[in-house]
Amino acid sequence: MIMLRTKLLAATFAAIGTSTAQLAADLPATTGQHLLEVNDQWTTMDPSALDGMHAVRFNSDAERIAEHLHRVRQHLADNAPENISHLARSHRSALLDALETYADRGVFPMNNGVAGRSPVFIDEFGNACAVGHLMITSGDAELAERISQEMNLAYVHDIALPEVAEWATTNGFTIDELAWIQPTYDHMKHRDESLIASFQMANGDRLEVRRPASPNAAQKLRLLRKGSMGDKVLATLPMLSGVQVMEYNGHVYIAGMPPNTGSSAELYEWNGTSLVAHDPYPGRMAIGSLSVVNGTLHVLGYEQGEGEPHERYLAENGEWKTVEHAAAPLPGAIVPEQRLP
């Protein structure tokens, strides 16, 4: 199957504050210098990426962090560890897809307490770092929250919790890989905390997903169209957490974990005139990623407390169907010759 990146890749990353980094994102420098500003693990994990001499610049630190995450994700997808189980390999693949969507969304934690650059596992607005997001997506939100409470500014290599190593093994990662994924964030003076996602449609419309306008306003997420004459609220929807957004066939799909009360729908579709609720799974599931596979919309859902992803796709008749994956042979089983690659 061919995995296509979504139209959300045209995302317009929100401008975030005033930078105090040694190398500001908008200054011309080599790609390697910019990557090292985000994470110095590049020197050991893929030093060849630091060799280029072409100067680049980024519109914002968020855009630079997204570039780092996309490059790390691609390298990890192409270089999976050999000695991992089929199940761990499946978890790893699903979480790397979720990392791609997370990077596209371009909304990252804010470092508002440490001068210079620092990791931030989960900020005060509930925005998780890349590693924290993967833990939450896999159903281990409690582990991510514990790290945030006990050591929110720690580097992965300094988080001495056996549960982190266990999580990494279960999901097919090494600690070094997680340390490479983990970005650092520059100290920011200001950020629009109501913004969840900002992206540009194929037709040129710029849309945003935002939190409620104020604590006294209706506690709904808002889908807005930006315009020169002001913003227009297109629709409101329940307060999903872990929001994923993409465009598919000219429609906007917004997915996430539904709140504990109200509708159990995990996915909402804006078709240009109205909002349509989709409930791909029974009960309440967390949506880890949205993707297009061979022209068909796919979702990966996770049940809280379980790491095994459940993949479904939107059939032509509008029904959500389960993706059946071929079972891996048991250890020691003899694979018929005609099935060998």
Q: What is the 3-state secondary structure (H, E, C) of 251-282?
A: EEEEEEECCCCCCCCCEEEECCCCEEEECCCC
Mark whether 146 and 48 lie in a shared domain: yes
Buried b (16+ CB within 10 A) or exposed e, 58-84: bebbbbbbbbbbbbbbeebeeeeeeeb
pLDDT at 183: 97
Mark whether 182 and 214 lie in a shared domain: no
H-state helical runs in the chain: 31-38, 42-45, 61-78, 86-105, 130-137, 141-151, 162-170, 175-181
Mark whether 134 and 264 lie in a shared domain: no
CB atoms within 10 A of CB 37: 24
- CB-CB contact of 198 with 208 (8 Å): yes
Tokens of 147: 């790290």
Q: Residue 97 domain-assigned?
A: yes
Q: Residue 82 domain-assigned?
A: yes
Q: Which of 21, 176, 28 is nearest to 114 (CA)?
A: 21
pLDDT at 213: 84
Least confident of 36-45, 109-118, 260-269: 109-118
Tokens of 258: 């539904």
Is the pLDDT reported for residue 222 higher than 80? yes
Q: Residue 325 domain-assigned?
A: no
Is the pLDDT reported for residue 9 higher than 50? no
End-to-end CA distance of the chain: 16
CB atoms within 10 A of CB 254: 25
Is the pLDDT reported for residue 7 higher than 80? no
Mean pLDDT of 209-224: 90
Mark whether 170 and 31 lie in a shared domain: yes
Is the pLDDT reported for residue 18 higher than 60? no
Mark whether 142 and 235 lie in a shared domain: no
The pLDDT tens digits for 249-289 are 889 999 988 998 889 999 999 999 999 999 999 888 888 77
Least confident of 60-69, 175-184, 285-294: 285-294
* Listed residues 136, 154, 186: the one ending a domain: 186
Q: Residue 298 domain-assigned?
A: yes
Which position has the higher pLDDT, 326 or 177? 177
Q: Please state the φ and ψ torsions of residue 29, each to the nearest 5 degrees.
A: -160, 170
Q: Residue 327 domain-assigned?
A: no
Mark whether 203 and 96 lie in a shared domain: no
Q: Which of 214, 278, 299 is nearest to 222 (CA)?
A: 214
Buried b (16+ CB within 10 A) or exposed e, 174-205: eeebbbbbbbbbbbbeebeeebbbbbbbeeee
Helix (H, G, I), strand (E, B) or coil at 289: strand
Mark whether 103 and 226 lie in a shared domain: no
Is the pLDDT reported for residue 320 higher than 80? yes
324 Cβ neighbours under 8 A, 6+ residues apart: none
pLDDT at 329: 44
Whether pTM > 0.85 for this model: the answer is no
Helix (H, G, I), strand (E, B) or coil at 85: coil
Q: Which residues pair with 244 in a beta bridge?
A: 255
What total of structural domains would you count in the chain? 2
Dist. CA 310–CA 307, nearest whole Å: 10
Mark whether 77 and 144 lie in a shared domain: yes
Q: Which residues pair with 198 in a beta bridge?
A: 208
Is the pLDDT reported for residue 182 higher than 50? yes
Mean pLDDT of 167-181: 97
Least confident of 183-187, 203-207, 239-243, 257-261: 203-207
Tokens of 211: 């939190």
Which position has the higher pLDDT, 22 or 139? 139
Mark whether 53 and 128 lie in a shared domain: yes
Mark whether 27 and 155 lie in a shared domain: yes
Mark whether 50 and 121 lie in a shared domain: yes
Q: What is the mean pLDDT of the chain?
A: 83
Expressed as residue numbers, the domain containing 29 is 17-186
Dist. CA 176–CA 178, nearest whole Å: 5
Mark whether 249 and 131 lie in a shared domain: no
